[in-house]
Amino acid sequence: MIELSNLSKSYARGKVKAVDNISLTVRPGEIFGFLGPNGAGKTTTIKMIVGLLRPDTGEVRVAGIDMLKDPIAAKRRIGYVPDQPQVYDRLTGNEYLNFLADVYQVPDDVRRERIEHYLEIFELKGAVGDLVQSYSHGMKQKLVLTGALLHNPPVWIMDEPMVGLDPRSAFLLKDLMAEHCRQGHTVFFSTHILEVAERLCDRIAIINRGRIIACGTLEEIKEHREKETLENIFLELTENEGIPVSLEDHLS
Amino acid sequence: MRAFLSLLRITFRNYYGISVMKQKYIKEKRELWQPILAVVGVGFGGFTILSLYYLISRGLYTGGKMLGEPALGLEYALLVSAFFIFFFGVSSVITTLYFTEDAPFLVSLPLKPFQVLAAKFSLVMANQYLVLAFLLIPHLIIFGRGEGLGFLYILTAAFIFLLFPAIPLAPAAAIAITIMSRAGSKRLKDLFTILTYVFMIAFGIGIQFLVQYLPKGKEIASLQEILKNHGALLTQVGRGFPPAIWATKALAYAGTGEGLLSLGLFLVLTVVLLGLMLLLGERFFYQGLLKGEEVSRRRRVKHKVGIAWGARSPFKALVLREHRLFVRTPVYLMNVLPVAVIIPVIAVLPLITPGKQIPVDRIAPFLAAHPYVKLVIAAITTFIAGTLPLAASALSREGRLFFISRLIPVSPKDQIRAKFWYILGVNFLCTLPFFVLAVIIARLGPVDILALAVLSLAATAAVTELGIVIDLLRPFFDWDNPQRAVKNNLNVLFAMLVTLVFLGVFTAVAIGLSLTVPWRLGYLALLLLVGGVAVGLYYGQLALAEKMYRMC
């Protein structure tokens, strides 16, 4: 569903390598966790997958479609939730959702059913007629999540989706991720919460300084390592590999 | 103090984008033509307007001197400046203090409210210097030169110039802080924006009325006449605002005891007003800011089942998004719609001013004899469309949310197509009142009306496309309130300049045709040319969109 081949991206005219020649395949029906310390290249990679950044080299294929060659077809298959829930403040919740449903060409009856379903789950039904500017951070996040699922995308990509969600919504989100997967779709998300990755993900990749330093199931990653928890492995793999200040500044 | 200075530095750096400019123009030396063109454009425009204003200032000085009060012009200039800064400063104060995105961040810092207020107030002050320079410096130069004043005058003038905006702005800020502390910023934001624009429109129309009543070619003499007849009245008005008199005396008697006393009074008042404002701010400034962060009361919208979730084509959805964001953002709306009102009012004033009516009856025969003159109507509508900021901010208005447009599965071509048709519709609608008025006054026949409407539409399309192309080439996404997306967007200025060039070529071609071919043939040739340009630009902008959406 997602294939990254020799993907690289540099900033400051090649001086800072944010993503350094990574290759990765995420299969259908898989929940894939993308871990890494701050400034490791997670968001840059995600932005390249969803078509917000153009890679310097390499290839991104989503559901078999080359993002660079046919971005529209590729984007149609993606539901993206950015790290910050940015929504048009001066639209109402339902106008925003309707707009997304229109551009993703979701038929009338299907959209109504899905919108109502997700609004019910996220308890947004009472607020969806209000202007987005009156929403709290968590409400905006839930609206963005709903928008990303409206077209039932084969590939659901999220950048730090748990941030700003209350425990109940976070639980519901995890449930939705599992449900999405059961339909044979792919879920790809970055997170700092290692327990979530440990409990939820079929496979995990750890990125540090733009390179994938570990990838596989939790068992595969644990293999040949003395540490027992993902947290310990994560710390072992990423320690002594401080992020260069220039890179961190640039990415922030 | 160090923390405050640091805050002051980042406030200015952030607002004016100093670091961005430094990086772009000095370090990377990219797109250096932009600041050069901006300086040349603004310099040229500023010089032209200042030259006219300088003549009026000289008239006031001479008039005052005739009455034995050479500083009268200076005093009026200070009064007018105070009035301008107060009224237009109120909106600037409110926007800068309450409606910027850094407000919650600043509140979270270990800074005292008065420090944050002082930093933001300094920014408002700095923004007023341009207005003050325009209104005051010509008077200062004329008075200083006329009276042969020296170094102490220059020093006092510099001092007064730097401090003067604080006198009208500090009360404006105090009013804003008091209102906001009670009402909460978000709820009042749109209301204040609309009120400010309504006031500006009324002011603009008022000035236009005044100008119409001055005899043509004798404007300076009539200003002197007004001074002579109403001098005492104006002086009385001045008495109601003592700082203007103190500043005038400090300047007129610079270096003398009376001058020093007046300067002292001026200084004390400035310090007292600033102190009171900061004191009030220390107590109430954060109240308003924090209220702005509260989630506002919910307004329920009744859902009409079947309409609320009705499916549309992506094109229609994009047009609707453009429309909703346009009509729901007062700054955008009020930068566009008033033009549709003001231009016809300005056009109609000479026709209704008593004693100065243009002989309307003679227009139709004149146009029949000189049919090419009808093109003036199309030229004006094109100019109106070219000055509207929608096209030149087509992408910029999306700001940080532009990523949504890059994310959705709709080709950049289709997105620009939606923007173009919507903006063309709005631009054409805004030119319509003038167009209708013009064809009524000129008593044009249906064939001429249709011909001019088609030509106006084609030319409006061309300038709309030029605006979009400019914004595609250099979109401005880094703004923190919508006002900056249009007001601080140089693309709008560039679009105006390009429109003037377009109209220059249009006029030259029209004159050339008028000298060589009959009207109907000339009209067709012009329509073909403008239409050809519009069609070419239409496809040009679509091709450019594919490239630029990937790069942005």
Distance from CA of A177 to the nearest CA of B (A): 21
For B129-157, what is the mean pLDDT? 87
pLDDT of B205 > 70? The answer is no
Question: Amino acid letter at B447?
Answer: V
- At residue B528 the predicted structure's pLDDT band, cuts being 50, 70 and 90, is very high
CB neighbours of residue A14 within 10 Å: 9
pLDDT value of position B161? 92
Distance from CA of A194 to the nearest CA of B (A): 28
For B414, name the nearest residue in chain A, comparing CA atoms only. Answer: A103
Domain ranges of chain B: 26-293, 314-551
Residue A204 within a domain: yes
Distance from CA of B535 to the nearest CA of A (A): 26
Q: Which chain B residues are closer than 8 Å to A108 by Cβ?
A: 309-311
pLDDT value of position A7? 93
Q: Which chain B residues are closer than 8 Å to A129 by Cβ?
A: 299-303
Q: Which residue has the higher pLDDT, B509 or B65?
A: B509
pLDDT of B536 > 60? The answer is yes
**B33/A contact by beta carbon, under 8 A:** no
- At residue B306 the predicted structure's pLDDT band, cuts being 50, 70 and 90, is very low
**3-class state of residue A142 by DSSP:** helix
CB neighbours of residue A37 within 10 Å: 21
Cβ separation B403–A127 shorter than 8 A: no
Both tokens of B285, joined, read 């400034």
Cβ separation B308–A94 shorter than 8 A: yes
pLDDT value of position B304? 45
pLDDT value of position B222? 61
For B261-289, what is the mean pLDDT? 89
pLDDT value of position B79? 83
pLDDT value of position B357? 57
Q: Which residue has the higher pLDDT, B217 or B447?
A: B447
d(CA A75, CA A49): 9
The rounded mean pLDDT for chain B is 81
- At residue A151 the predicted structure's pLDDT band, cuts being 50, 70 and 90, is very high
Using the Cα atoms of residue B8, residue B83, residue B179 and residue B331 in order, give the sign of their dihedral. Answer: negative
pLDDT value of position B534? 96
pLDDT value of position B291? 64
Q: Which residue has the higher pLDDT, B219 or A22?
A: A22
**3-class state of residue A188 by DSSP:** strand
Both tokens of B153, joined, read 């005058």
pLDDT value of position B32? 76
pLDDT value of position A247? 43
pLDDT value of position B354? 59
pLDDT value of position A244? 44
Q: How many domains does the structure of chain A reveal?
A: 1
**B329/A contact by beta carbon, under 8 A:** yes
Cβ separation A90–B328 shorter than 8 A: yes
Cβ separation A136–B409 shorter than 8 A: no
CB neighbours of residue B511 within 10 Å: 12
For B101-125, what is the mean pLDDT? 81
Q: Which residue has the higher pLDDT, B427 or A103?
A: B427
From the list B299, B325, B406, the residue facing A88 with the nearest CB is B325
Question: Amino acid letter at B476?
Answer: F
Burial class (CB in 10 A: 0-12, 13-18, 19+), B33: exposed
For B215-235, what is the mean pLDDT? 57
Dump pLDDT digits (tens) for B356-366: 556 667 777 88
Domain assignment of residue A55, given as a range? 1-77+156-163+185-252
Q: Which chain A residues are closer than 8 Å to B411 by Cβ?
A: 72
pLDDT of B14 > 80? The answer is no
Comparing A83-97, A216-230, B325-339, which segment has the lowest mean pLDDT?
A216-230
d(CA B207, CA B132): 18
**CB < 8 Å from A in window 185-224 of B:** 186
From the list B295, B316, B407, the residue facing A80 with the nearest CB is B407
Distance from CA of B301 to the nearest CA of A (A): 5
Dump pLDDT digits (tens) for B406-455: 989 999 999 999 999 999 999 999 998 888 888 888 888 889 999 999 99
d(CA B209, CA B224): 18
Name the nearest CA neighbour of B116 among B273, B278, B293, B275. B278
Q: Which chain B residues are closer than 8 Å to A51 by Cβ?
A: 406-407
- At residue B301 the predicted structure's pLDDT band, cuts being 50, 70 and 90, is very low
Q: Which chain B residues are closer than 8 Å to A80 by Cβ?
A: 407
Cβ separation B309–A98 shorter than 8 A: yes
pLDDT value of position B295? 44
For B483-503, what is the mean pLDDT? 88
pLDDT of B552 > 60? The answer is no
Comparing B53-62, B209-218, B239-248, which segment has the lowest mean pLDDT?
B209-218
pLDDT value of position B27? 72
Cβ separation A86–B400 shorter than 8 A: yes
Comparing A153-157, B33-37, B121-125, B522-526, which segment has the lowest mean pLDDT?
B33-37
Select, from the ranges B71-75, B259-263, B353-357, the one with the highest average predicted confidence (pLDDT). B259-263
Dihedral over alpha carbons A8, A13, A17, A18 (to 10 degrees): -80
Residue A134 within a domain: no
Q: CA B248, B253, B259: angle at the middle one, nearest 5?
A: 80
Q: What percentage of residues in chain B have a pLDDT greater than 90?
A: 29
Select, from the ranges B11-25, B429-443, B475-489, B498-512, the one with the highest average predicted confidence (pLDDT). B498-512
Select, from the ranges A54-58, B331-335, B531-535, the one with the highest average predicted confidence (pLDDT). B531-535
- At residue A224 the predicted structure's pLDDT band, cuts being 50, 70 and 90, is low
pLDDT of B176 > 60? The answer is yes
Cβ separation B329–A127 shorter than 8 A: no
Residue A169 within a domain: no
Question: Roughly what angle, to the nearest 10 degrees, separates helices B242-252 and B219-239?
Answer: 110
pLDDT value of position A226? 67
Distance from CA of A28 to the nearest CA of B (A): 21
The rounded mean pLDDT for chain A is 86
Q: Which residue has the higher pLDDT, B235 or B248?
A: B248
Name the nearest CA neighbour of A205 among A15, A11, A19. A19
pLDDT value of position B277? 92
Which residue of B309, B417, B480, B481 is the best one to mutate when testing the A interface, meaning the one whose CB has the most A CBs within 10 A? Answer: B309
d(CA A168, CA B312): 34
User: Domain containing A241 — which CATH number?
Assistant: 3.40.50.300
Q: What percentage of residues in chain B have a pLDDT greater than 70?
A: 82
pLDDT value of position A143? 93
- At residue B187 the predicted structure's pLDDT band, cuts being 50, 70 and 90, is low
Q: Which residue has the higher pLDDT, B143 or B17?
A: B143
First to last CA, chain B: 40
Which residue of B186, B189, B404 is the best one to mutate when testing the A interface, meaning the one whose CB has the most A CBs within 10 A? Answer: B404
For A108-125, what is the mean pLDDT? 90
pLDDT value of position B218? 59
pLDDT value of position A232? 77
Chain A residues in contact with chain B using a Cβ-Cβ cutoff of 8 Å: 50-52, 54, 72-73, 75-76, 80, 82, 86-88, 90-92, 94-95, 98-108, 111-112, 115, 126-127, 129-131, 133-136
Cβ separation A100–B408 shorter than 8 A: yes
pLDDT of B300 > 50? The answer is no
**B369/A contact by beta carbon, under 8 A:** no
For B166-171, what is the mean pLDDT? 89
Select, from the ranges B443-452, B464-473, B510-519, the one with the highest average predicted confidence (pLDDT). B464-473
Q: Which chain A residues are closer than 8 Å to B295 by Cβ?
A: 134-136
Query: Within chain B, what is the greatest distance between any pair of CA atoms?
Result: 80
